[in-house]
Structure formats: structure tokens, C-alpha cells
């Protein structure tokens, strides 16, 4: 697919706010990240979507987990779903059962080491695709990954599921925009560090934020930016970015709401 293909939009503007791991990374308002309380708290605080990390167990159960291992060093991919339950991990199916239907979900697919020896239809991405396909019937749903192969497996298993290419901190923005324009996906999801590189001297080869947004939209994709600071989020909203994955959700919601013009 080329950048000239028109792809239906996933997010509406002013920017769709997405709670990072629920209310935000770490602990926010007494709720730990990637827990049911954190996800429900994020919706109560005013975001429309939540971002959910997805990992697999040894017996192909899917759980909400950012890191591959628990604090004691035990790897989720090496234990059964029952063992993960005993450690207090949250199942993807349990989360979806508790979220209201109007709440959007963006799944961050974490490919595991063990996916390398599995066929394409048995990878973490393929397992999620079957759940996400059902989710899509009831709620706005997107699947994202840093792993291009995972995106291919998602597309093969669920052709109608909107997809997002994730890029990491300081990933070259020109490369990210060009790649997204020629992939079969709807959204480019870049870290704020790609737009504001952490250098002592401002780089000369990073286009303006407005130019980046324009190029993404002209390629008929949408731009999501994850983990901006409050000041960055305000600039991103003003520039027309389509979605923001934010930490410290209550603070970000208040700041962005204050910026929006009164109707």
C-alpha cells in the first residue's frame, strides 16, 4: 500500500487522550500502572482511551504487563496463566470485561523471545488479534507494536483491525513518517523524544512540528505521540496531533481542557 491510499481515521480531534498504562506510568492517585483500578481511574479522570501492554504466558494466555519479568525475576512467558493469576497479574479478557463499551483501547503488543520459534499464527500478536477482533465489535480498538512482524501477524489475523507503528525514544522522525506512509496501517505512534531530541544544541535536521503533522496527514495516516510532558502536550495539541498517550492523566486532562476554546 502506498501513501496515496486513503485510510479511515481512528481518532477525532482535538486530540484524543489515551491513559498510559491507565492513569500513567508508576503510581498515580494511589493506583499502580496496568491495574484495573488504574484503567478505570483514567476513564473517570477524563480520557477517552487507555493504553494496554500485552504479554503472553507459557500456555498462551494474555495478560496486561509492561515488563517481561516480575520484580522477583520470574518471566511471564515461562509461567502458566494460573501462576500469573496468583501473582496478581490482570488478564486482558478481565480488563475488557470491566471497561465500559465506549472506552477505546490501544493494545501495545510486546513480542517475546519465545515468539521467535512459534509459527506466525501462534505469536503474541496473533493471539491478541483474535481478542482484539472481538473487541472491535464493541469498542474503538487499535493494536500497536514496535515489532513490524507483529503488525503483519495482526493484519493477517484481523484485516479490519486498525494498526499503529510504534517508534522508540529518539527514533529519526523522517524515517518514522516515511515508513508509516507505506505500511498497511492507520497510525504512526512516535515518542515525544523524536520531536524534541535530548541534545544540548537544537538539531538542524528535525522539521517543524507543524510540518511533521502535515506530512503524516497528507499521507492519509494519523499521528499519535506518546509520553509528552505537559508543555509538549499543549504544543502537540495546538499543532493538530491526532492522539496523545499521557502520564499523570488527571494533570494532563486539566491542562489540555484549559487550552481548548470554550464553545
Same structural domain for residues 152 and 238? no
Same structural domain for residues 84 and 145? yes
Residue 4 located in a structural domain: no
Same structural domain for residues 64 and 113? yes
Residue 142 located in a structural domain: yes
Same structural domain for residues 209 and 257? yes
Same structural domain for residues 157 and 177? no
Residue 41 located in a structural domain: no
Same structural domain for residues 154 and 229? no
Same structural domain for residues 146 and 230? no
Residue 36 located in a structural domain: no
Q: Any idea what the CATH number is for the domain that residue 236 is in?
A: 3.40.50
- Report how many domains make up the chain: 2
Q: Any idea what the CATH number is for the domain that residue 107 is in?
A: 3.20.20.190
Q: Where does residue 77 rank: exposed (0-12), middle (13-18), buried (19+ CB within 10 A)?
A: middle
Same structural domain for residues 116 and 155? yes
Query: How many helices (H) and strands (E) in the chain?
Result: 9, 12
Residue 2 located in a structural domain: no
Same structural domain for residues 17 and 90? no
Farthest CA pair distance, the chain = 55
Same structural domain for residues 22 and 67? no
Locate the DSSP E strands across the chain. Answer: 16-20, 27-28, 31-32, 49-56, 62-64, 90-91, 104-109, 141-145, 163-167, 187-191, 222-226, 243-246
Residue 106 located in a structural domain: yes
Q: Where does residue 144 rank: exposed (0-12), middle (13-18), buried (19+ CB within 10 A)?
A: buried
Residue 39 located in a structural domain: no
pTM of the model: 0.93
Residue 241 located in a structural domain: yes
Same structural domain for residues 129 and 70? yes
Domain boundaries, position 238 = 12-27+172-193+205-263
Same structural domain for residues 127 and 71? yes
**CA dist., res. 166 & res. 137, Å (int):** 24
pLDDT 10s per residue in the chain (263 long)? 444 455 678 998 789 999 999 999 999 999 999 999 999 999 999 999 999 999 999 999 999 999 999 999 999 999 999 999 999 999 999 999 999 999 999 999 999 999 999 999 999 999 999 999 999 999 999 999 999 999 999 999 999 999 999 999 889 999 999 999 999 999 999 999 999 876 555 566 678 999 999 999 999 999 999 999 999 999 999 999 999 999 999 999 999 998 765 44
Cell readout for 127 is: 493471539
Amino acid at each position: 500500500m502506498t501513501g496515496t491510499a486513503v485510510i479511515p481515521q481512528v481518532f477525532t480531534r482535538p486530540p484524543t487522550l489515551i491513559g498510559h498504562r491507565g492513569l500513567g506510568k508508576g503510581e498515580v492517585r494511589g493506583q499502580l500502572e496496568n491495574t484495573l483500578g488504574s484503567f478505570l481511574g483514567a476513564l473517570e479522570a477524563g480520557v477517552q482511551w487507555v493504553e494496554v501492554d500485552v504479554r503472553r504466558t507459557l500456555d498462551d494466555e494474555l495478560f496486561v504487563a509492561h515488563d517481561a519479568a516480575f520484580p522477583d525475576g520470574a518471566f511471564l512467558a515461562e509461567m502458566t496463566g494460573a501462576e500469573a493469576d496468583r501473582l496478581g497479574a490482570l488478564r486482558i479478557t478481565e480488563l475488557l470485561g470491566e471497561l465500559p463499551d465506549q472506552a477505546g483501547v490501544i493494545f501495545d503488543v510486546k513480542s517475546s523471545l519465545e515468539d521467535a520459534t512459534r509459527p506466525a499464527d501462534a505469536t503474541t500478536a496473533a493471539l491478541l488479534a483474535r481478542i482484539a477482533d472481538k473487541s472491535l465489535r464493541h469498542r474503538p480498538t487499535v493494536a500497536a507494536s514496535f515489532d513490524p512482524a507483529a503488525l503483519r501477524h495482526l493484519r493477517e489475523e484481523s484485516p479490519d483491525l486498525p494498526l499503529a507503528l510504534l517508534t522508540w525514544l529518539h527514533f529519526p522522525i523522517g524515517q518514522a513518517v516515511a515508513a508509516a506512509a507505506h505500511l498497511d496501517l492507520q497510525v504512526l505512534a512516535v515518542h515525544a523524544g523524536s520531536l524534541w531530541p535530548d541534545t544540548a544544541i537544537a538539531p538542524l535536521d528535525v522539521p517543524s512540528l507543524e510540518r511533521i503533522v502535515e506530512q503524516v496527514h497528507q499521507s492519509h495516516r494519523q499521528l499519535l505521540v506518546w509520553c509528552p510532558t505537559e508543555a509538549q502536550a499543549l504544543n502537540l495539541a495546538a499543532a493538530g496531533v491526532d492522539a496523545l498517550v499521557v502520564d499523570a492523566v488527571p494533570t494532563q486532562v486539566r491542562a489540555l481542557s484549559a487550552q481548548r476554546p470554550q464553545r
